[in-house]
Structure 1
């Protein structure tokens, strides 16, 4: 099932037995009734949403048909940033203060009460859209712009409000896991790198190269967080900051990671997370086999990706890639590049493997910086200037 406007993006459409379309503005009950009609003819065994959009519809259908699916409550706790923060505080997993706000004045009140810096972002969102850091010295105009950015609608995600929370300093990681019957198996901890203004992700490397004690702290934190949020099955992509006080949550998602991270995990570990995700969605129990395969494989290479992010927005007129085939385009001439930047503003990506995480990142980044993109008749390259230390180094 999908929205009609997404039918053009369904690959191999002719191979499907049925493809059901339902309007974005239709009620949950309409989606449920449509699913029930087909269920009477060919009963479903499970309901899965592999992307962010309409996961709430999948949960509602699963609940109505009594099928394996994330519960409506779990989905709410995961997708609503304030609900997630509240649950993690209640269960003692993460004490980060947060609040929903209805205007710039409340952001200033939160800043005065808790101190800065703060993150202002949409209650529901993805792709680093509408995310802004607000510091103690922020002017009223800067705070107003941060609120407006977080309150805007993006890519059909409904505007559910704006949340403000403490900004945690430290290196950022993602944890890729698969859960079954309430058990969470971590496949990989991934180091991520970002630009310092809108936190658009610039690169990733797998494995992260963390000391053993830090990796144990990160994976234990994520397992406790998933338990607290009620996650029992399926893939998760959890983003955290490793602060001086231990791991702190950024957000988690009930889906495999984007940014080609599952491919990096496969290249580095030999384990195909997407294959296990698909098999589990078809009703198979896969956790035992996954654990055995993970234990049998010892990563001996690091896999990295680095993205080309233009300095500004506008229409992409031309993109020129290095001739050696190390870089692949993400956008085509004629596409619009959003500004302020988000994940969809990146025009190309380069992947590399190496014996160390630093070498893998340097190789991928060097290739990505060879891209030239003409945007609205202006020649631009990657992010201008030297990136901050957390972007430039794996150390």
Structure 2
């Protein structure tokens, strides 16, 4: 039987890996894509897809359904591939219309809408974190008066720390709302109580409503923008703490109705116990999917694509995690932030010698306009390292980043003259 996978949004190398898996298994796998224009630049295998249909980000649900039906009429679609946040609501809707499996529209809304997630977790007794949807500075200030400063303002939906602010006082309400609403068409934002504690993320995999935590990661964020600057796995936690985080995340996934696939859940370990920041129906970014493979032996991407093609993968994941002979090591990544303003002229120090356990990748290029640490895409470089302990791995990665120098050009100030 030929499997025809309709991929929504950017798939990076996953469609190619799906086709390769099919060939190895003696099964033909073809792929078609429905995406936005911006996704074309992120495809390395455009000629390998059977067809690519590009829609405007403003296209209606009816247009997505019509295009999917047209593809299905030419080559019947047997599977839906939705691997990242972009176009996930459209994938859920099309799957429902075509009678195929993927996350339902209801689950996608619960996960992507931060306030809806908070309500569901409260309704099911998982946790009660104060939150509200606001449209005006007055509403934000009213929330803060009831729950206290600081509070966190973020877009109603979103990722990569885009539009997120910590509001320390009433005077910052207007700018925080402007920052949150500037990431999309929806003028509303979510405001939440500020949770105090160390930050972690949890990579898990689900199958038929059963959830397995693959690893817990300690993450480090900028205190102003909340953009992530570092990760290390496995997190240096006491066994009881790891168990508490694991239980809380599994309860969260059950409350949200997640049935399958990878999830990336961010939590804060507060004095009251673990509290969820947000969760995603995908692997974590920031190289985490590769770090998981190197630290645990579990390839989350391979597991996901095989599951999409109908394979049962959870037994294999469990077997890998339980294997007493598998290599265990700590994996860390650290990022370079960005100056508040200027133009990047040169990056030096990248060619310096470093240990074999360290990999460096410079992201910023000469000519890049700098505007501080606005979101995850503002960062200028990353370094990955592995070692026997979390502390050693973090130290190696940070040392590599500290060895870089960024030369910038800042124009002379032209203020008012007397």
State the TM-score, normalized to the length of structure 2. Answer: 0.85
- Structure 1 212/183 Cα, relative in aligned 2: closer, same or farther at 3 Å? same
Report matched runs for 1:154-303 at 5 Å: 157-159=184-186, 161-296=188-323, 300-303=328-331
Deviation at 1:209, TM superposition (A): 1.9
Q: Name which of 73, 77, 82 aligns with 1:49.
A: 82
Q: Is the 8 A contact 2:373 2:379 kept in 1?
A: no
Partners of 1:315 and 1:125 in 2: CA distance? 27
Aligned residues: 372
What does residue 385 of structure 1 align with? none
Q: Counterpart in 1 of 2:176?
A: 146
2:40 equivalent to 1:7? yes
The Cα shift of 1:41 comes to: 2.7
Decide which of 387, 394, 400 is 1:367's aligned counterpart: 400
- For residues 340 and 349 of structure 1, do their structure 2 counterparts lie closer, same or farther at Cα, with a shift above 3 Å needed? closer
353, 377, 399: which is aligned to 1:324?
353
Confirm or deny that 1:105 pairs with 2:138: yes
In structure 2, relative to structure 1, the CA distance for the partners of 1:40 and 1:91 (3 Å cut) is same
Aligned residue for 2:93? 60
User: Aligned-pair distance for 1:302?
Assistant: 0.4
Q: Please give the secondary structure, in 2, of the residue aligned with 1:7.
A: helix
Alpha-carbon shift at residue 115 of structure 1 (Å): 1.8
Following superposition, the deviation at residue 250 of structure 1 comes to 0.2
Runs of at least 5 residues in structure 1 that lack an aligned partner in the other structure: 379-395
- Per the TM alignment, residue 45 of structure 1 is displaced from its structure 2 partner at its CA by 2.2
- Partner Cα separation in structure 2 for residue 12 and residue 354 of structure 1: 35
1:80 to 113, 120, 125: 113
- For 1:36 and 1:364, the matched residues in 2 are separated by 48
Residue 376 (str. 1) matches residue 404 (str. 2): no
Which residue of structure 1 aligns with residue 386 of structure 2? Answer: 353
CA contact (8 A) 1:124 1:160 kept: no
Aligned partners of 1:346 and 1:315: how far apart in 2?
14
State the match for 2:67 in structure 1. 34
Structure 1, residues 146-196: CA drift from partner, whole Å, max 9, x if none? 12111112xxx5436201111110000000011110011111101101111
Contact 1:303 1:354 in 2 (8 A): yes
Larger radius of gyration: 2
Please report how far the alpha carbon of residue 304 of structure 1 lies from its aligned counterpart in structure 2 after TM superposition. 0.3
Structure 1 SS opposite 2:80: coil
Structure 2 CA distance for aligned equivalents of residues 351 and 225 of structure 1 = 30
Q: Name stretches of at least 5 consecutive residues in structure 2 with no aligned partner.
A: 1-33, 412-418
Q: CA deviation at 1:260?
A: 0.1
For residues 181 and 143 of structure 1, the distance between their equivalents in structure 2, rounded to whole angstroms, comes to 43
When the two structures are superposed, what TM-score results if normalisation uses the length of structure 1?
0.90
Q: Matched residue of 1:110: which SS?
A: helix
Would the alpha carbon gap of residues 340 and 347 (structure 1) be closer, same or farther in structure 2, given more than 3 Å must change? Answer: closer
Determine the C-alpha separation between the residues in 1 that align with 2:371 and 2:292: 29
**Cα displacement (A) at 1:101:** 0.6
- Deviates most, 90-99 or 142-151: 142-151
Distance 1:27 1:139 in 2: 38
Equivalent residue for 1:335? 368
Contact 2:134 2:191 in 1 (8 A): yes
Please, what is the CA RMSD of the aligned residues? 1.6
